[in-house]
Copies of this chain bind each other. A is one copy, B any other.
Amino acid sequence: MADIEPFRVVEMLTRAGELQAAGVDVVHMEAGEPDFPTLPQVVAAAKAALDAGHTSYSPAAGIPQLREALSRWYRQQHNLDVPAERIMITPGGSGALLLMSALLVNPGQGILMTDPGYPCNRHFLRLVEGRAQLVPVSPAQRFQLTASVAEQYWRDSTVGVMVASPSNPTGTALTTDEMQALLALCQARGGNLIVDEIYQDLVFGDAAASVLGMTDQAFVLNSFSKYFGMTGWRLGWMVAPEQAIPALEKLAQNLFISMSTPTQYAALAAFEPEALAVLEQRKKEYAQRRNYLLKELRAIGFGIEAEPVGAFYIYANIRGLTQLDSKDFCLQLLEEHGIAITPGADFGSHLASEHVRFAFTTSLEKLQEAVRRLREMFC
């Protein structure tokens, strides 16, 4: 238990809530949760599923209709051939992380992953007595793990590499060449490549390269939370090599029994053309916010060493503005200026004390208010 850390963002959320209750107008840029509501199509489909009595256990791998809907979506939206049989529905991206960790990692073994990175990843490995083998990644590499660096850190106990593209907290993505090189390294070493593609559909320029177009042997984690705006429903999925599916299904039977059945029927509606059109419109709005915030934060003096190409985060260096530790800086911003952001320590330790994460999961008007307050502080 001592190895498992609480999220600092939760403390931040709690304190922000207290301040708000006390009348402070807080600008929330701390949570990785879309401010857009779940699509009305999905809500309507959930109600229809309840009326139709879809409230019993369903297959551990997910309802066939949803696995097939994802397979069609991969073909139509991404021009990728991903058979439904290779898609496991999971209880959130968290469920996919649990299955992946349980399947691939024996005690003492480890997976290379970036510092900074999504903090829960390492705790799933710790749960199964494996270890996250953290690789400090620098702004020069856009905070991403490259094959040459991964090779340096590869040990006898390493069984794979995990990357997120685009990544949380930085929003940077791997190029096709970089992903290919990582894949080649994993294949040469007999390890597995695991790619978190949770932000894959929130890329603002040219689409980031999905590993699914390069191999059928990678493990891909995804979720309905971010692009599809379904955080509180807890639904995700995983694409796995065909030969891994029977073992994953056995694990899912034992660990989950079933996913939420009405939620799976609800998610089917997210693939309707009108629903997808709304999601693409939302993506444009994220892009606007990103462009605005990037320019303003730079003008104020934050160091944006690697520009985000996707997700809804900007990872910023504060050393041009303050010598405070980023945790103290975040507390000061919240207490004195009503701006809630997340300190780097939530994502690891490498360069954490000089970085903070801004989440642009709030309206442009709110972002403008935050910028106004920051200008007052620093300009």
Contact = CB atoms under 8 A, between A and B. Distances in A.
Interface of A: 1, 4-7, 10, 31, 33, 37-38, 43, 46-47, 50-51, 53-58, 60, 91-92, 94, 98, 102-103, 107, 119-120, 123-124, 127-129, 230-234, 247, 249-251, 253-263
13 contacts: A1-B247, A38-B53, A43-B51, A46-B46, A47-B47, A56-B231, A58-B232, A94-B256, A120-B254, A124-B254, A129-B129, A234-B258, A260-B263
A174 to B, nearest CB: 25
B1 A257 contact: no
Contacts of A102: 127
Contacts of A53: 37-38
Q: Which 10 A-B pairs have CB atoms at the shortest separation, nearest pair first?
A: A232-B261, A123-B254, A38-B55, A129-B129, A56-B232, A55-B232, A6-B250, A43-B50, A120-B254, A234-B260
A231 B253 contact: no
B55 A50 contact: no
Given A232-B58, A233-B55, A255 B123 contact: yes
Contacts of A54: 232
A236 to B, nearest CB: 11
B4 A250 contact: yes
A258 B235 CA distance: 11
A4 B254 contact: yes
Nearest to A250: B6
A347 B299 CA distance: 65
A134 to B, nearest CB: 16
Contact of A128 (B127, B250, B259, B260): B127
Contacts of A6: 249-250, 253
Given A120-B257, A128-B128, 12 more contacts: A4-B251, A6-B249, A7-B254, A33-B56, A43-B51, A58-B232, A91-B91, A127-B127, A232-B258, A233-B262, A234-B256, A234-B260
Nearest to A33: B57
A254 B37 CA distance: 24
Contacts of A55: 37-38, 43, 230-233
A144 B241 CA distance: 42
Contacts of A250: 1, 4-6
A357 B5 CA distance: 43
B56 A46 contact: no
A129 B127 CA distance: 9
Interface centre among A50, A51, A92, A94 (most CB of B within 10 A): A50
Contacts of A46: 46, 50, 262
Contacts of A33: 56-57
